[in-house]
Amino acid sequence: MTLQYFLILAAALFCIGIYGLVTSRNAIRVLMSIELLLNAVNINLMAFSNYLDPSGIKGQVFTVFVITIAAAEAAVGLAIVLSIYRNRDTVDMEQFNLLKW
Amino acid sequence: MNLADGVQIVSFGVLALMMLGAALGVVLLENIVYSAFLLGGVFISIAGLYILLNAGFVAAAQVLIYVGAVNVLILFGIMLVNKRQNFVPLRNAWVGKTTTALVCLGLFALLGAMVLSTPWAISTAPVAGDTSTVVIGLHFFSDFLLPFELASVLLLMALIGAIVLARREFLPDALEREQTQQPVLTLPERPRELASATPSSPDRTLGTSSTKRNV
């Protein structure tokens, strides 16, 4: 059990999240991919906190902050998706071209 | 404090397999309801990893906030946006997917090489372990006091913003029928602007009564 295992696992989760963020066409799946990205960062912070700073655990404090911001982001993101769905009557990311030109 | 090494490695392997499999399911499955439930599996596996990292408090917070709040919120969002539609297939969609997959694999290789080649300064200080809750509380009220207060303000802003964004404004049926020539640049679900454009009082009373009935 070393630090590298956790970091590589977090890197894999981050790459899966980026793939989902770019390729998915449902807006709610994009929000779920963002949650995956934030959780990968959290795993990194917790691993650093346990292996590099085990007595003054500042990584866990940062993880709690990131969890807070993620909860707020999920609430606002879902409200935006609901509002767009009500205006455009779809959740397809390819048809959200309001700001394109 | 720590479990035995073999038990730790086996639990890490099982949790990592669960997490990666569920994350791939979240991204790749067609049905989005399955994706939402697998996202809960990802969160629970990550909470197990936190317990392996001697952080019981954050693991409990992860289960409470992510599985209990965020995942339920996403399920409610799926329920509210419940439209069974088949997306129009794009031309050359596989080019984008293949490019993204290649970029992600390259990023993973880069990150893995960086992780394996960096000499980490592994500390040998005593692990906080069960006293981690006390240490986190001390951090919150001494050197992280300003971010703590800013986080509370940001939660309040997110609460009000989500309510303002998601509030539904009903369009009354009678108003819609008699408004034959609608102005071009007006969104159809904003009855207030229509009422202010035609300030005759019966429309307004009709609109408010039907709004109450709908609410």
Average pLDDT of the segment spanning B180-207:
52
Quick check: A88 contacting B, CB < 8 Å? no
What is chain B written as a DSSP string?
Answer: -PPPHHHHHHHHHHHHHHHHHHHHHHHH-S-HHHHHHHHHHHHHHHHHHHHHTT-HHHHHHHIIIIIIIIHHHHHHHHHHT----PPPPPTTHHHHHHHHHHHHHHHHHHHHHHHHHS------SPP-GGGHHHHHHHHHHTTTHHHHHHHHHHHHHHHHHHHHHH---PPPHHHHHH--S--TTS-TT-HHHHHHHS--HHHHHHHHHHHHHH-
Contact list, B118 vs chain A (CB under 8 Å):
none
Query: What ipTM did this prediction achieve?
Result: 0.93
Average pLDDT of the segment spanning A10-17:
95
Which of B:139-198 have CB within 8 Å of A?
A: 139-140, 144, 147, 151, 154-155, 157-159, 161-163, 165-166, 168, 187, 189
Residue B57 pLDDT level (bands cut at 50, 70, 90): very high
Q: Render pLDDT for A18-50 as a digit per residue (tens, 0 to 9).
A: 999 999 888 999 999 999 999 999 999 999 999
Contact list, A86 vs chain B (CB under 8 Å):
168, 189
Q: Is the pLDDT of residue B215 over 60?
A: no
The reported pLDDT for the residue numbered B211 is 44
The reported pLDDT for the residue numbered B90 is 78
Q: Render pLDDT for B69-122 as a digit per residue (tens, 0 to 9).
A: 999 999 999 998 877 777 777 778 889 899 999 999 999 999 999 999 988 888
